[in-house]
Amino acid sequence: MMNMHVPASKKPSPTKSAGASKTALSALWRPALVQAFVKLDPRQLQRAPVMLVVELTAVLTTVLCFIPDAAVSTFVAAQIALWLWFTVLFANFAEALAEGRGKARADSLKAGSEGLSARRKTSDGAFQIVPATSLRKGDVVRVEAGEMIPGDGEVIEGIAAVNEAAITGESAPVIRESGGDRSAVTGNTRLVSDWLLVRITADPGESTLDRMIALVEGAKRQKTPNEVALDILLIGLTLIFLLVVVTLQPFAHFANGSLPLVFLVALLVTLIPTTIGGLLSAIGIAGMDRLVRLNVIAKSGRAVEAAGDVHVLLLDKTGTITFGNRRCTAVVAAPGVAAKELAEGALFASLADDTAEGKSIVEYLRGTQPQPEPAPELLTAVPFSAETRLSGVDYQDRVYRKGAVDSLLAFVGLKRADLAPALSREIDKIAQSGGTPLLVCVDGKLLGAIHLKDVVKPGIRERFAELRKLGIRTVMVTGDNPLTAAAIAAEAGVDDVLAEATPEKKLARIRHEQNDGRLVAMCGDGANDAPALAQADVGMAMNDGTQAAREAANMVDLDSDPTKLLDVVQIGKELLVTRGALTTFSIANDVAKYFAILPALFASIYPQLGVLNVMHLSSPQSAILSAIVFNALIIVVLIPLALRGVRVQAASAAALLRRNLLIYGLGGIVVPFVGIKAIDMLLTALHLV
């Protein structure tokens, strides 16, 4: 009973390259094309009211093809109907393409959880094998090496290495243990050593994997507040243009003229914002897909949009702004000691040190003062211990040691007062700057000090400068004293610092910013971060953090990389800017269409409108057909942009607005003039009108 069956459905975790091939256009376009026809169902098109109107007009135009009209040939009417159907299909294709990318990833995720079993603890303390789908919140399961963790949970007993490649794509195992901030485990990840007792914290359908699948599939996603607002705007514009088109026929009759019903129906489609109406859903799904590719799970689209609008970022110092592990940045020789002698002593004392600090000392000295090194097998390692607080090696009857100031002074039989004043001042200077001083000795002789400090990550200062240009302020949160915090903050280039931070301090700072009307984003992993994560507008929890933090946040980073918050903000901004840019382009298109169609339609009825006929299109039939063709093709042209998103440059909001108005506003006016005229010339040359 104890040897639980590991299901045969466990396939190797999909690699990123395999995932990329599944989401390539060549693999997606065929199923997307099929879905484009499936989505013609009016019940599905209800989600996109503008496209529903286009479909209804396409149906009406198709019917009118069979009703003879002296003013419009059946051939022209059939072409108009065909291009209207193409318009709906292209919009559906864009949405299906965006969904297909997500579904390809979702399928690979689902494959890993099929047929999964769990060893559940019963009330009498025994273990019973049950399907993973039957597990409920509060159940306790035992997982052993080689088995899959059956659901999201918290480790209550044991310590083990877990391979999270199925979720994160990274094959390097991570340690999970009971207690502390590394107790949370994710379903569908594999144990590679030892055993764990896990308390399940999510019911079926609510786990990280389930959320991920639901998010990337996109079909069942809820519309974000911005999408709802934009939908209302588009419906309003559609109703306005419907009224405009309905009133045109009476105006024509008043002037003893008449407008064919086919033309009026087609005119409605060209005037309503079909471009953004067709691409709106694809933009939203693609935005979520980009987030998932970052390995971030958002609990709602609202959080992603909020990320695009944030004003303040609260970032933890350790692991986000700095590496977290102290690194060697300098060595200071004692008076009368040569630099070469100190470098040799510090290097030899660190060669057998496997800690991050020890490795950084070796790396630093190899780079600054390269010298011959003895073979590792010739060294007798003396590892660091909590009692001695020293480490080093014995080599050729010589004793090399490094360690904390007080410990090493005790080792060589000196007191702090016995230190040379110059060396003592250097040690104090290192400590005051927020660094950690280590002393080095050989055979009881004091050689000098090593400066360890929490090093700021390369490129982080530039990232913060970019955010500043976008109008986003950065606040470093740290438990350090104000002096140390200020030194690191100045080096990192953050706008503000919150030193000696407690959960209460973090919460108070977030509330203060929100009361001033600013949106706040924060990331954290501990239970003490949960109140602040819940209060923040965008709270991102680390996947390897506590369950409390994951539940309080509205985003979870599966890679547990706190700097990811900067990328999430970027994606949120791209999503908002893409939606805004294509809306601007779509509405600007209509301006050109007024000049294209209305003068051509009314030239014979109201000759005065001939002044507006700047495009000089061949005939009213050609004008209508050219506008309809352009309307359909422009959606195709913009599909890649909708899926990729508009790149956000590091600039102020005013500069971004100017840029987008110039490209998508002015471009949206100019492109239809050129496009419709070119299509008109082509249609005339091919004798299609």
How many other β-carbons are positioned within 10 Å of the β-carbon of residue 327? Answer: 18
What does the block give as tokens for 8?
């045969």
Would you say the C-alpha torsion 26, 30, 31, 37 has a positive or negative sign? positive
- Return the bridge partners of 456, or none: 322
The pair of three-digit structure tokens given for residue 159, joined into one six-digit string: 């310590």
Distance between CA atoms of 621 and 402, rounded to whole angstroms? Answer: 89
H/E stretch holding 205 reads: none
Q: Where are the alpha helices (DSSP H) in 474-521?
A: 482-492, 503-515
Q: What is the DSSP letter of 520?
A: E
In whole angstroms, how far apart are CA 12 and each of 9, 139, 265?
10, 28, 55
φ, ψ (nearest 5 deg) of residue 197: -105, 120
Residue 401 phi/psi, 5-degree rounding, is -140, 150
CA distance 108 to 40: 28
Euclidean distance between the first and the last CA atom of the chain, given in angstroms as a whole number: 78
Distance CA 133, CA 546 (A): 23
C-alpha–C-alpha distance, residues 214 and 226, integer Å = 20
Distance of CA 631 to the CA centre of its chain: 32
Classify 262 as helix, strand or coil: helix
Q: Which two tokens stand for residue 322?
A: 């700095």
- Quick check: is 316 catalytic? yes
- Count Cβ atoms below 10 Å from residue 253 Cβ, excluding itself: 12
User: Do 289 and 295 form a contact (C-beta atoms < 8 A)?
Assistant: no
Those residues with Cβ within 8 angstroms of residue 627's Cβ, 6 or more apart along the chain or in another chain:
266, 270, 593, 596, 597, 672, 676
Q: Which of 152, 231, 316, 454 is catalytic?
A: 316
- Of the candidates 666, 596, 601, the residue with the CA atom closest to the CA atom of residue 631: 596
What's the Cα-to-Cα distance from 673 to each of 581, 633, 648, rounded to whole Å? 19, 14, 28
The partner residues of 402 in beta bridges, in order of sequence, read 391, 440
Kind of pairing between the strands at 520-524 and 538-542: parallel
How many other β-carbons are positioned within 10 Å of the β-carbon of residue 575?
27
Q: Shortest CA distance to 279 belongs to which of 28, 38, 48? A: 48
The values of phi and psi at residue 557, to 5°, are -95, 115
Q: What is the DSSP code (8-state) at residue 222? A: P
Cβ neighbours of residue 374 closer than 8 Å, sequence gap 6 or more: 348, 351, 395
Q: Is 684 exposed, middle or buried (0-12, 13-18, 19+ CB in 10 A)?
A: middle
The C-alpha atoms of residue 651 and residue 469 are separated, in whole angstroms, by 5
Active-site annotation, residues: 316
